């Protein structure tokens, strides 16, 4: 992969009719969270790499946890492609999300959440 910031997008459609299928769905979803992915929307998870190091470890981690049945797709995007995404919520276009800070990603991976303080330009 490249040396520029990259995103790994995992999209999946898994069966959930039986208790065993729901358990497999949850196991796969949790394996993505353990690899540092976060939920973009239902059954779509993303992983950000500021240095573009979409390692073989991440793809191998996904492959080693594939459930039986359903469909899973892995897509790698540059940060520029990710930023060009057009997003709508409740029929209203939303402003693209900024590039996440490395500290923020680290804390999200630990299950901690915080609000990153941004400097106020023009205000003392």
pLDDT tens-digit series, residues 21-59 = 999 999 999 999 999 999 999 999 999 887 766 667 888
0.75 surpassed by pTM: no
Which tens digits make up the pLDDT trace of 5-31?
889 999 999 999 999 999 999 999 999
Dihedral, CA of residue 30, residue 24, residue 61 and residue 112, to nearest 10? 0
Tokens of 123: 């205000």
pLDDT band at 85 (very low <50, low <70, confident <90, very high): confident
Q: Across all residues in the chain, what is the average pLDDT?
A: 79
Residue 101 has pLDDT above 70, yes or no: no
Element (H, E) at 17: none
Give the CA dihedral 7, 10, 11, 12, nearest 10 degrees. -170
For residue 38, CA distances in Å to 69, 92, 124 come to: 22, 23, 35
Percent helix, strand and coil across the chain, each to the nearest 5: 30, 25, 45
Average pLDDT (77-96) is: 85
Q: Percent of the chain, pLDDT > 70?
A: 72
């Amino acid at each position: 992969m490249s040396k520029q910031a990259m995103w790994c997008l995992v999209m999946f459609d898994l069966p959930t009719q039986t208790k065993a299928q729901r358990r497999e769905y949850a196991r796969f979803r949790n394996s993505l969270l353990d690899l540092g992915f976060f939920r973009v929307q239902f059954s779509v998870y993303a992983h950000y790499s500021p240095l573009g190091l979409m390692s073989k470890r991440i793809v191998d981690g996904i492959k080693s946890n594939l459930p039986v049945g359903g469909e899973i797709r892995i897509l790698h995007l540059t940060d520029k492609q990710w930023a060009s995404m057009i997003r709508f919520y409740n029929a209203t276009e939303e402003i693209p999300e900024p590039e996440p800070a490395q500290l923020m990603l680290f804390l999200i991976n630990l299950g901690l959440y915080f609000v990153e303080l941004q400097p106020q330009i023009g205000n003392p």
